[in-house]
Amino acid sequence: MLKKYLFLTKPGILFGNFVTTLGGYFVATQGSVDFLLLLLTLLGTTLVVASGCVVNNVIDQDIDEKMQRTQNRAMVKKTISEPIALSFAFVLGLLGFGLLWFWVNAYAFLFAVIGFVVYVGFYSLWTKRSTIHQTVIGSISGAAPPVIGYTAVANQFDLGALIIFLGYALWQMPHSWAIAIYRFDDYKNAGIPILPVARSILRTKVESLIYVVLFSICMNALYFYGYANIVYLVLLNVLCAYWIYLSLIGFKADNDQLWARKYFLFSVLLITIISLAFSFTSTAPSSAMVLF
């Protein structure tokens, strides 16, 4: 029984957001970690993300039953009722938002709200089913956790937070499209107008390459504005160079699904390494431009 509820929260997504929250936190903390604050931030963020994922499961029942990888989910099989699932989501959200508001700060709470509203309202209920630009909208919610981590420490939204938000949002694009190419038939059968299905796999490869380059440029800014050291710069660019290489060989791939799977897995590895590396590569900028 507990396993059904755990999978309702989408553990893979929880882990990904856990790692990126760590990344944002480590950039701001600059090596001096307040472990209680870190724990509260991670727990609050994870609970909020879990709440959004449960609501997404409720919303996506009709889509999930048409996709091979999701057709055995609890909401599709009706092993958990909608009222129970929504109650579960409510409790998770209440605990998560409460932790961030009372024990972290208003900035972390605000970006948790933004991420939740965008994921549930603008992505799940609207753009996922209606527009090719769904991935752009989804990237906003995906970039919220690292900003939550950053603002939990900094208690302000400054240039560092903005760079992190843009960088992690740009990363979401090729990462998400790789899943869509790998699971192309699932997305096509479900009628989801994501880029590879609505346009073409070739166009998706072109745009993925563009976003990888933009991600590289954006994340390099953390070094040039004094938020990370030379070790970070080298590590980032080695990883990004290989991601660009994978993007380029995709144009000659004999099997798009196999290439996309490798492309997706590397995107996960890259963002995990970068996020964890901030624990020993982040530095204090000479001055931080506060935006709000």
Q: Compute the residue count for the chain.
A: 292
pLDDT at 287: 66
Averaged pLDDT score across all residues of the chain: 96
Give the residue-averaged pLDDT of 47-67.
96
Q: Which two tokens stand for residue 167?
A: 């960088």
Question: Is the pLDDT reported for residue 131 higher than 80?
Answer: yes
Q: Which two tokens stand for residue 95?
A: 């605990």
Residue 286 or residue 206, greater confidence = 206
| Beta-carbon contacts of residue 129 (< 8 Å; ≥ 6 apart) | 63, 191, 192, 193
pTM score, whole prediction: 0.96
Q: Which two tokens stand for residue 2?
A: 């507990």
Residue 86 CA to residue 59 CA, distance in Å, equals 10
Could you give the C-alpha distances from 273 to 125, 217, 280, in angstroms and in order?
32, 17, 12
In the 8-state DSSP scheme, what is residue 80? Answer: S
Packed helices 106-117 and 134-142: angle between N→C axes, nearest 10 degrees: 160
The domain limits of the chain are: 16-281
pLDDT in tens, 267-290: 999 999 999 999 999 998 876 677
| Beta-carbon contacts of residue 157 (< 8 Å; ≥ 6 apart) | 107, 147, 151, 290, 291, 292
Give the residue-averaged pLDDT of 228-238.
98
Could you give the C-alpha distances from 146 to 27, 59, 98, 274, in angstroms and in order?
9, 25, 19, 12
**Would you tell me which CATH number, out of the four given (1.10.600, 1.20.950, 2.60.40, 1.10.3470), belongs to the domain 16-281?**
1.10.600
What ranges in the chain are assigned the alpha helix state H? 2-8, 11-29, 35-59, 61-64, 74-77, 82-99, 106-117, 128-130, 134-142, 144-154, 159-182, 184-190, 195-198, 201-224, 230-249, 256-281
